[in-house]
Each structure stands twice: as structure tokens, then as C-alpha cells.
Structure 1
Amino acid sequence: MIELRTPAEASQLAPIRGVSAALAGQCNMSLDQIADLRLAVDEACSTLFRIAIQGSEIFCKYRLSSDAFNFSAGVATTRTEVDRPYERRFGWHVLRTLTDDLELHRHHGNGNGKSSTVTISFTIVAVS
């Protein structure tokens, strides 16, 4: 597993996307799949940046195999409207189309009683 942590700011989207695409090259993914992966990372991270606590970090975790790319990203948030209603939004449908497996998790309580962690995870299976 590889983990990347950066400030949860839109300016970090290009480096996260670049690392993701570089790592995808190790998973026997086609150029079209890498393009889809870049879009999926954009959508997931952009969503998380919008709800992140100002000044916090985003963590991205990568699990790679020769036939699959697993990505997970999460942020601390105090927003409560992220639970199930997000899954009805257009961005979620884009993610569902681009990925083979997609999940949204909310981990309540970060020990401070005020925030929780929201994580978006997806898998793209390499087409040989």
C-alpha cells in the first residue's frame, strides 16, 4: 500500500492525479482506463476538497496489483449532508460509470466530538 497526504486544497489536485496515473501504469491498464482513472480521481478528490475542514489534509491510499487499481481518499469534515444524498448527485453517477467498484464511507467522530471522516473508495480492474 502507498499513502499520500497533502493539504486538502484544490491546488493539490494535479499532483494527486499525476501520482495516480503514474501508479496506474503498473497495473496493466489501457490508456483509456488511465484517462478514466484521472477523471475518477478528479471527481472524488474535488468532492472531498469541498467538504474538508479548512486547513486539514486529504489522505490518498493506493493498493496496486497487476490487474486492479484500488484508490481511497478521505478528509475530516464537520458537514453532515454527505451521507446517502451524495449518492444521488451527478458526480456520483460519473464515478459509478468510470469505476468497477465504488463506496462512500462516513466514520463518525474523530475523537474531538466535532468532526468525522468521509472516504471515497473505488477500484478499476485492468482490461488485458
Structure 2
Amino acid sequence: MADAQPPHNAVDDGRSVVLSIPAQHEQLPIIRLLTEAVAMRNDCTLDQAADLKLAVDQICTLLIAAAAPGAGLVCHYTADEHTFEAAITATTAADWRPEDGSLEWRILRALAGTLSVSQHPTDSQLANETTVVVRTRKPL
């Protein structure tokens, strides 16, 4: 399995959680459970945790559909005093990015405070390492 790596700017300050699993739809319940648990553990509200769970689930669903054969998903959760972030990375078979006006992207923007996508070619140049980051501000 070609494993995606956490984002290059990821910093492990002891408050991060990383899950690396196969890019398969059967893994989505684990991702949803972990997303909600980590968000709640890091002082997000119930509504924020629910929104993050839905957003991460949708992002993972889209990345699984675009994933290269045998690819993995890496979900990297980080938090600081003011924000909670989930960065989901997968090796995608081709250039992949949701269209800004698509229904999925509009729903994700409604669920997330900030949403971004980045891509980097893999060493083989036949695929891309795609990372989608969803970030929300925690309550004061």
C-alpha cells in the first residue's frame, strides 16, 4: 500500500493525533469516530465536533474515490489554544480538486471555518499527494 504522509508543515507538539488507514469506504466509521472524539477532547463544542465529523467524512469519501490503487489515507488532527485542524492526505491517481462551485465543496465550506487543498507530485510523477485541510476556531 502506498501510504500518504502527514502534511510537511505538521508539528507534533504532543496534542496531535495521526491515523493511517487504507483508502477504503469501509474505514469511514473509524474516521468519523476518531474525528468526533479528538475534536471533543480538544474543547470543540458539540456542534463543531458534529460539523467536523461530517466535513472529514465527506473529504475522505471524495479522496477515496480519487485515490490511486492501494493508496492509504492519513488523517492528522492538531489543535492549539484557538483552533482545531484536520488534515487529510491521500495519494490520488490524477490531478484532483473539487470544483469551487460544486455541491460537495459548498457543503464543506458551510461546515468548516477554513478549507484548503494542496497537491504535490509523487516521486513517480504518476500520482499526486493531495491534502485537504479543514480548520475551525474553538470557542473562547
TM (norm. structure 2) is 0.82
Unaligned runs of 5+ in 2: 1-15
Once the two structures are superposed, the pairs formed by residues 1-128 of structure 1 within 5 Å of their partners are 1-80=16-95, 82-83=96-97, 86-107=99-120, 109-128=121-140
The structural deviation recorded for 1:66 is 4.0
Equivalent residue, structure 1, for 2:4: none
Structure 1, unmatched stretches of 5+, are none
| Cα-to-partner distance string for 1:57-86 (whole Å, 9 max, x where unaligned) | 011111122432100001111223x24x52
Matches of 1:66 and 1:11 in 2, distance apart? 33
Runs of 4+ in structure 1 deviating by more than 3 angstroms, as ranges, are none
Aligned residue pairs total 125
Structure 1 residue 49 displacement after superposition: 0.5
> Following TM superposition, by how much is the alpha carbon of 1:37 offset from its aligned partner in structure 2, in angstroms?
1.1
Identity of aligned residues (%): 28
Deviation at 1:113, TM superposition (A): 2.0
